[in-house]
Amino acid sequence: MSATTYARITLLFFVLTGLLMLIGYAIGFYFGDPLTFMLLGLVFAAVLNFATYFWSDKIVVKMARAHIIQEEENPTLFDIVKKVSQEAGIPMPKVGIVNSPMPNAFATGRGPHKAVVVATSGILSTLSPSELEAVIGHEIGHVVHRDVLISSVAATIAGVISYIGNIALWSMMFGGAGRGRQNNGSIVALLLAAVFVPLGATFVQLGISRNFEYNADEYGAKITHNPGALISALEKISSRVNSPYARAATVGSTSASTASLWIVNPIRGHTLMELFSTHPSTKNRINRLRRVAEEMGVYVR
């Protein structure tokens, strides 16, 4: 693992620790013992840092509601993952499927020896075999570059902190006020922490460089020798993600905390997540891929 990857992971862990200690302090301030709750946040952060580093692949797969499959369950997808991983010179990743009509895919894990490549049922019915291979090439690119470790840790961090923020809000609304210190300062502090700490977790994900996506696009185009297929796949996925049908299907099935992992961000609309998306626009990605095609001497429409 490169020094840059270690530095990014360390930064994520420090940010996670700070956010959890902050929300612990706010909860403790509300209940009259900020130091104890802040220390509890520190202990929880240490445990979570350890867990996310070693088991982020399992955590993310569960968060995404993916099912790890065997070859006989979907030979086509399995064979494509095997083919691309062999071309990349890495061990065969585990293969998972998310039962969702929305076409998309992601990779997770600590590195090439602990990788999982996941596709939705929707992408399997939407893309041609060459387009699907190009998408898998993109995801294998993330594995080879070890982007998946940083992305998986960030997704886990965002999910846990958002969950804690929701618990704090509901506790304050139902029953917590009667046991708290009942002064306006403590209530405001808890409310601000419950709202803005999860927002801070979203900005943790924004620490993931958009270059990750550009680099994975280029890798997928080159390893499959078919930039046109990846362009076509991105166009199809983006058009479905932006459709009203896809947005309705997304509700309740895709967590915002895992949105940065997918090849196309599945959370669309006028939201902060969209405004500060970790993904470049599809238009910019396609323009980059056209330049890659020119460098490869490949004609694309």
- The tens digit of pLDDT for each residue in 199-235 reads 666 666 555 556 789 999 999 999 999 999 999 999 9
d(CA 84, CA 88): 6
95's CB contacts (< 8 A; 6+ apart) are 68, 69, 74, 77, 78, 81, 116, 117, 118, 119
Please answer whether residues 149 and 56 qualify as being in contact, where contact means their C-beta atoms are separated by less than 8 angstroms. Answer: yes
d(CA 209, CA 44): 27
Give catalytic residues, as residue numbers.
Answer: 139
> Is beta strand 115-120 parallel, antiparallel or unpaired with respect to 105-109?
antiparallel
pTM value? 0.76
Structure tokens at 219: 């890798």
275 C-beta neighbours (distance < 10 Å), count: 7
| H-run or E-run covering 106 | strand 105-109
Any idea which of 113-117, 148-152, 220-224, 242-246 has the lowest mean pLDDT?
242-246
* 147 contacts: CB under 8 Å, gap ≥ 6: 141, 208, 212, 215, 216
pLDDT digits (tens, 9 = 90+) for 43-102: 887 887 788 778 878 888 988 899 999 999 999 999 999 999 999 999 999 999 999 999
How far apart CA 293 and CA 300 sit, in angstroms, is 7
Distance CA 58, CA 118 (A): 12
Q: Please, are residues 165 and 197 in contact by the beta-carbon 8 Å criterion?
A: yes
Return the sign of the alpha-carbon dihedral for residues 188, 191, 195, 197.
positive
Helix or strand holding residue 118 (H, E): strand 115-120
User: What are the residue boundaries of the structural domains of the chain, listed by start?
Assistant: 3-61+149-205
Q: In this predicted model, what pLDDT tens digit does every residue of 1-53 receive, in sequence order?
A: 566 666 767 777 777 778 778 777 777 776 777 788 888 878 887 887 788 77
Query: Which of 47, 36, 40 lies closest to 13, judged by CA?
Result: 47
